Structure 1
Amino acid sequence: MELLKQLCQVHAPAGNEVLMKEFILDYVEKNKANWKVQPEVIHGEEFQDCLMLVFGKPRTAIFAHMDSIGFTVKYDREIVKIGGPRTKHRYALVGKDSQGEIECEMDVPEGSEKYYYKFDREIDRGTELVFKCDFRQSDEFVQSCYMDNRLGCWNALKVAETLEDGIICFSSWEEHGGGTVRYLGKYIYEHYGVRQALISDITWVTDGVKHGKGVAISMRDRGIPRRTYINRVIDLARESGVDFQLEVEDAGGSDGNELQSSPYPFDWCFVGAPEDNVHTPDEKVHRHDIQCMLSLYKYLMLKL
């Protein structure tokens, strides 16, 4: 879990994913010699802060978003949300501005719909603040801020170790409306003919999806993927012997929704471990579900 801990500590709120991109590029460069297949690494200004790893003759793409939720400093010590973070009085926030490192507290006045920071000086407006990382492990659980979606990125990087044919796309902005998956999808469709995807992201513990019961395969959320493809993924999951749960929701979304609304005929399926304490500093995932997520991805990328 050391890699996951490092990922959770990288400052990369939506719109400023550059440090996560650099971390992943450095990790790939240092570790790819030990992987089964050496990928082509694709990045550059035309892809903004996204990157792709292309292995062999790809048939399927994995999408994992690099960004996190957070806050932007406004005026008069007010902060505004990046994405949908939960707010609570005295949550610890960290960041950096022109005057140096920042560690402050969230101030949520009773009855107010606005949020503020408490710090011993004014913070530069436009500065991004994120939850302070407190990475914890037990025999059953891993807990930290930003398991969504640093765990999805961890999963993709672990799949990369043995992947022979496939594409891994690390995307941006997912937590705050998206915007990169459409051009990433365009590129891989036009250059490699790939039109099916798995979404390596983290879902929620709900009445129907529990800790320790396996990875969740989402049959629908706010978006409804093509049933033929979903059925194929479920059949392969049953064939794999890996523990999984079926999720059916009417809200929430992911990079899959952007693929579906693109002008390209992509099939997609969200496959991810469930977490509790969503969008807080205390996101919590069961170790068994993490292992099931990784095992199922390896099987699906081999069979799809």
Structure 2
Amino acid sequence: MELLKKLTEIRGAASDEGAIAAFIIDYVKSNSGSWKTQPQIISGPGFQDCVILVFGTPRTAVYAHIDTIGFSVGYDKELIKVGGPRLIDGIQLVGSDSQGEIETELMVIENEDGSKDLQYVFDREIDRGTLLTFKPDFRETDTYIQSPYMDNRLGVWNALKVAETLEAGAIVFSTYEEHGGNSVGFCAKYLLDHYQVRQALISDITWVTPGVPHGKGVAISMRDSLLPRRSYLNRIIDLATSSGIAFQLEVESAGGSDGGVLQKSDLPIDWCFIGAPEDHVHTPDELVYKYDIMCMVELYRFLLKNL
């Protein structure tokens, strides 16, 4: 899990994904020599901070967003949410500005009207617009991993593990998912125009709920706030059943992912969210069971061979 630990330590709040994109490109160049198939790396001008890997003749693309939640520094010590972090007083935050490295903490001020003001606690004023993210704190036991940003550095890790044995497929490392979505549309259009890829799997992390507990396998989402096309979903469920890999079926009324961007686009692309469930969502203590992580990798490998 050393790779996952490294991924969780790289700062990359939505809109600031350059460092994590560069890490992924360097990792692929350094390690893909031992992979089953050598991918084409597509990035640079026209792709913002996204990275696309193409293996052989792809039929299906895996989407894993590389951005995280966090905070922007406003005026007079004000903090403004990037995405939807949980507001817990005393959370440790890190970043850097023109004056150097920053290690501060979140102060949540409860107002009489029920609203909350967010401020940082630091011995100097931090430059306006500075992005702050959760301080790295990677914890591992025999059973689980607990860390900030398992959502979605675990989805990125899953995609990189799947890449090791992938013969035909594409992997899209996308941006901005936590704060409105941005890049999935043009990446999907590129893969559709150049390779006729019309199928997608969303490598992201879902929630532990009464219907989706820890330790029962990876979750296949039948719906969140949006609905994947049922015939495609049924194919995935049938394949997962035949694989013998442990999985759970998720049915939720809220939430979204890169799949939602695909559904709202004008592109004829089927999608399905498949990810391990985590507890303590959008906090520095996101917790995922190792068994569910391994099931996630195995199911992705199986589906990419058979979809």
**Which TM-score band (shorter chain)?**
over 0.9
The 5 Å alignment of 1:94-173 reads 94-111=94-111, 112-173=115-176
Q: Does 1:266 align with 2:287?
A: no
Hey, what's the Cα distance between the residues in 2 that align with 1:20 and 1:134? 18
Hey, what's the Cα distance between the residues in 2 that align with 1:110 and 1:249? 30
Q: Tell me, what secondary structure is at the counterpart of 2:305?
A: helix
Residue of 276, 279, 286 corresponding to 1:276: 279
Hey, what's the Cα distance between the residues in 2 that align with 1:255 and 1:174? 6
4+ runs of 1 displaced by more than 6 Å? none
Q: Tell me, what secondary structure is at the counterpart of 2:46?
A: helix
Per the TM alignment, residue 73 of structure 1 is displaced from its structure 2 partner at its CA by: 0.1
Q: What is the aligned residue count? A: 304
Instruction: Name the counterpart of 2:208.
Output: 205
Hey, what's the Cα distance between the residues in 1 that align with 2:171 and 2:122? 40
The one-letter code sitting in structure 2 at the alignment partner of 1:11 is R
Aligned-residue Cα RMSD (Å) equals 0.6
* 1:146-196 C-alpha deviation (Å, 9 max, x unpaired): 000000000000000000000000000000000110111111001000000
Instruction: Name the counterpart of 2:227.
Output: 224
Instruction: Name the counterpart of 1:238.
Output: 241
Instruction: Name the counterpart of 2:252.
Output: 249
Per the TM alignment, residue 110 of structure 1 is displaced from its structure 2 partner at its CA by: 2.9
Q: Tell me, what secondary structure is at the counterpart of 2:253?
A: coil
The one-letter code sitting in structure 1 at the alignment partner of 2:193 is E
Hey, what's the Cα distance between the residues in 1 that align with 2:262 and 2:110? 41
* 1:61-119 C-alpha deviation (Å, 9 max, x unpaired): 00000000000000000000000000111110000000000000111123351100000
Hey, what's the Cα distance between the residues in 1 that align with 2:77 and 2:157? 35
The 5 Å alignment of 1:6-21 reads 6-21=6-21
**Structure 1, gaps ≥5 residues long:** none
Q: Tell me, what secondary structure is at the counterpart of 2:81?
A: strand
TM score, norm. by length of structure 1: 0.99
Instruction: Name the counterpart of 1:68.
Output: 68
Q: Tell me, what secondary structure is at the counterpart of 1:75?
A: coil
Q: Tell me, what secondary structure is at the counterpart of 1:288?
A: helix
Contact 2:110 2:117 in 1 (8 A): no
TM score, norm. by length of structure 2: 0.98
* 1:203-225 C-alpha deviation (Å, 9 max, x unpaired): 00001000000000000001101
Per the TM alignment, residue 260 of structure 1 is displaced from its structure 2 partner at its CA by: 1.0
Instruction: Name the counterpart of 1:179.
Output: 182
**Structure 2, gaps ≥5 residues long:** none
Hey, what's the Cα distance between the residues in 1 that align with 2:110 and 2:142? 38
Residue of 291, 294, 299 corresponding to 1:296: 299
